[in-house]
Amino acid sequence: MGVEIRESPVSDEEFAEMEGFVRDYLAASVENEEEGGRMRWYPWHSAEYRFNHIRNVVELSTKIAREEGANVDVTRVAALFHDIAKLEVEQDIHAEEGARIAREYLTTQCEYPQSFVDQVCESIADHSYQGDLTDLTLETQCLVEADILDKVGANGAALMLLRMGYESRTHMDSAEMVGRVLERGITAKERVRSTTAQDIAHRRLKRVKWFREWLDDEVAAIDLE
């Protein structure tokens, strides 16, 4: 029976090496696919976007874990690997594949206790869970909450506005598109359970709501009828 790890086993240098591995793995996933890979013309399916998303989730999940009393190292290492397989396998199996890759890396490139590796891989495998987040370990809950929150706020609004160009929309649709981010944010706030995550969701929702109101006030609609 493993002992729960509370001391930090991951040095800054080791974490930086892991980060480099994840970045290179994502880049290789795109390079190895013919014709640029699955939906690569959407920027959020690129290696650059996916790595940026991962770094955002690492930062958010670390903050939530610290505030909520979770094991920070388990949470941030799981966050770092959670989407490593996103660009090379189908959505419904990317969590399990990410856990497999993480386990191979953590057991061959590092010397961490088995209990630590097991906790990290469990969190990665469960990060797509769609049920009540309190059913999960606290570390996994922090990861899932961060993953949800990265799609809310400035990042979500910017990506939604960028999407307009790919859908041949004009700037006059911007209020509608940001409205979708607001709706997503409301859903996210209802789903996250920790006090820290709910506070982050609340602050981000206020900003998105303000931006939506600003667009409504200053971008005139055109009636083509």
Quote the pLDDT of residue 34. 57
Arithmetic mean of pLDDT, 115-125? 97
C-alpha 47/C-alpha 84 separation (Å) is 10
Say what the pLDDT of residue 225 is: 41
Structural contact between residues 78 and 123, judged by C-beta atoms closer than 8 angstroms? yes
Q: Could you state, in order of their start, the residue ranges of all structural domains in the chain?
A: 12-131, 154-218
Rounded percentage of the chain residues whose pLDDT exceeds 90: 63
DSSP one-letter code for 134? G
Q: What is the pLDDT of residue 6?
A: 52
Summarize pLDDT for 123-142 with one digit per residue, the tens.
999 999 999 999 999 999 99
The H or E element containing residue 123 is helix 114-125
- Can you give the pLDDT at residue 64? 98
Residue with token string 């469960």: 126
Q: Extract the tokens encoding 199.
A: 């506070």
Q: Is the pLDDT of residue 222 over 80?
A: no
Task: Calculate helix-pair angle for 72-81, 12-31, nearest 10 degrees.
Answer: 20
Cβ atoms < 10 Å from Cβ of 96: 15
Instruction: Give helix then strand counts, H and E, for the chain.
Output: 9, 0
Q: What is the pLDDT of residue 76?
A: 98
In this structure, what token pair is assigned to residue 75?
A: 């949470």
8 Å CB contact between 71 and 4: yes
Average pLDDT of the residues of the chain: 88
Say what the pTM is: 0.88
Question: Tell me, what's the pLDDT at 13?
Answer: 96
pLDDT tens by residue, 32-89: 665 544 445 556 678 888 999 999 999 999 999 999 999 999 999 999 999 999 998 8
Rounded to a whole number of angstroms, the CA Rg of the chain reads: 19
Pair of tokens at residue 72: 């920070």
Tokens found for residue 165: 């160009």
Angle value at C-alpha 67, between 83 and 183, nearest 5 degrees: 55
Question: Using one digit for the tens of pLDDT, what is the confidence trace for 23-35?
Answer: 999 999 887 665 5
CATH class of 12-131: mainly alpha
Neighbours of 64 (CB within 10 A): 28
Q: Is the predicted pLDDT of residue 162 greater than 90, yes or no?
A: no
